[in-house]
Amino acid sequence: MDINLLEKTELRIDGIDTAGTNLTDLAAAVARVLGVLPDKVMVIDVRPPQLSLDILQRTLPAESFFGKERVLLDAIAELPGVTLAADAEIHSAGILCAIGLSEIQAAETLARSRAVGQSIVSSRRARIRIFPTGFELQESRIEDTNTPYLVRIFEQAGFLPAAAQPVADNRDQLADALAHAAEECGLAITTGGIGAEDKDFSVEAVQALDPSAETPYLVRFEKGTGRHLKDGVRIAVGERNGCLLAALPGPHDEVRLAGPILVRGYKQGWSKQELAGQLADVLRAKFRAAGLDNWHHAHCDHHDGGKR
């Protein structure tokens, strides 16, 4: 379980004499105990009988430092030139002070922390945010039928979905909205904006947050033909801080095809690769049945009005 050090990354050792000690080796010894790379620990001050170190990363596994004071002092004491007083201690102004816990205290604290962490993860995973996209929805020119549908099927599956305000057809605004949702939700969904025109940015917004997002094509065509500024239409499934990101189409019949797949895949913990593949398969089947020309028309014109 990783613990955020909250910028309190200094350790102070009281009761230490390091005359003739290689301080690089001392920092490396501390790094080994903490399970970090040698360059992530730095000696920042030596004023006998004190020595201060800085941990150069924001998080540490709790198991690597809870109750590790004796282990760390013993590791340092083995170094040439180090002398420790009988009452040598390690201090920190932040969570790193847990290094001084006894073995029993450390075990009990870790057990409680894991239980709390699992509860938080479970609560976060239940929360789902749905973002309709496009100026037509922002200006109430068309009715949003996608969001109520997605809210309903996720509620029926036992989740806690919530509708967000419509987001503009803008990559940065979409990415920002998704990034904020990723801080508190387990799944963030966009509807619309996956097409090949200059106003379609949902896939790119997901990629901005997860460069390795899965973005399977639903259809390909020659870039620059008609209103198509891209070489095809894709959906996207990515991940940000443990939150799954899914960019779905805008037409309501396509959302109704994709929705049950998304619910099942999320509930069963599918990987983003498997989920993206399953979503693409069900949508491609519809387009093949309708014919490519009809599919082009549906995706080029679904913003023109009416329900969505």
Express each pLDDT in 212-231 by its tens digit.
Answer: 999 999 988 766 555 557 77
Residue 21 CA: distances (Å) to CA of 77, 81, 253, 287: 11, 5, 71, 72
- The pLDDT value recorded for residue 241 is 86
Taking 90 as the threshold, does the pLDDT of residue 59 lie above it? Answer: no
* Interatomic CA distance for residues 171 and 254, integer angstroms: 22
Taking 60 as the threshold, does the pLDDT of residue 187 lie above it? Answer: yes
The confidence band for 300, taking pLDDT boundaries of 50, 70 and 90, is: very low
Is CATH 3.40.50.720 the right assignment for the domain spanning 122-301? no
Q: Do residues 63 and 80 make contact, with C-beta atoms less than 8 angstroms apart? A: no
Q: Do residues 237 and 179 make contact, with C-beta atoms less than 8 angstroms apart? A: no
Quote the tokens at residue 9.
């990354």
* Interatomic CA distance for residues 88 and 70, integer angstroms: 10
Provide the residue ranges of all domains of the chain, joining segments of one domain with +. Answer: 2-101, 122-301
Q: Cα(first)–Cα(last) distance of the chain, in Å?
A: 43
- The pLDDT value recorded for residue 303 is 36
- The pLDDT value recorded for residue 292 is 54
pLDDT for 73-119, tens place per residue? 999 999 999 999 999 999 988 888 889 888 888 788 777 766 654 55
Place of tokens 């990723």: 182
- The pLDDT value recorded for residue 304 is 34
Q: Do residues 9 and 96 make contact, with C-beta atoms less than 8 angstroms apart? A: yes
Dihedral class, residue 23 (left if φ above 0, else alpha if ψ from -120 to 50, else beta): alpha
Residue 34 CA: distances (Å) to CA of 117, 139, 218, 307: 21, 54, 48, 57
- The pLDDT value recorded for residue 306 is 41
Q: What are phi and psi of 90, to 5 degrees?
A: -115, 135
* Interatomic CA distance for residues 153 and 260, integer angstroms: 8
Q: What are phi and psi of 214, to 5 degrees?
A: -85, 125
The confidence band for 298, taking pLDDT boundaries of 50, 70 and 90, is: very low
Is CATH 3.30.70 the right assignment for the domain spanning 2-101? yes
CB neighbours of residue 288 within 10 Å: 11
pLDDT, greater one: 226 or 300: 226
State the chain's mean pLDDT as an integer. 86
Query: What is the biggest distance separating any 2 CA atoms in the chain, rounded to whole angstroms?
Result: 83
Q: Do residues 196 and 209 make contact, with C-beta atoms less than 8 angstroms apart? A: no
* Interatomic CA distance for residues 186 and 245, integer angstroms: 9
Strands 243-248 and 187-191: parallel
Kindly report the pTM of this predicted structure: 0.58
**3-state percent breakdown (helix, strand, coil) of the chain, nearest 5:** 45, 25, 30
Which amino acid appears at position 246 of this protein? Answer: A
The confidence band for 294, taking pLDDT boundaries of 50, 70 and 90, is: very low
- The pLDDT value recorded for residue 222 is 65
Q: Do residues 10 and 92 make contact, with C-beta atoms less than 8 angstroms apart? A: yes
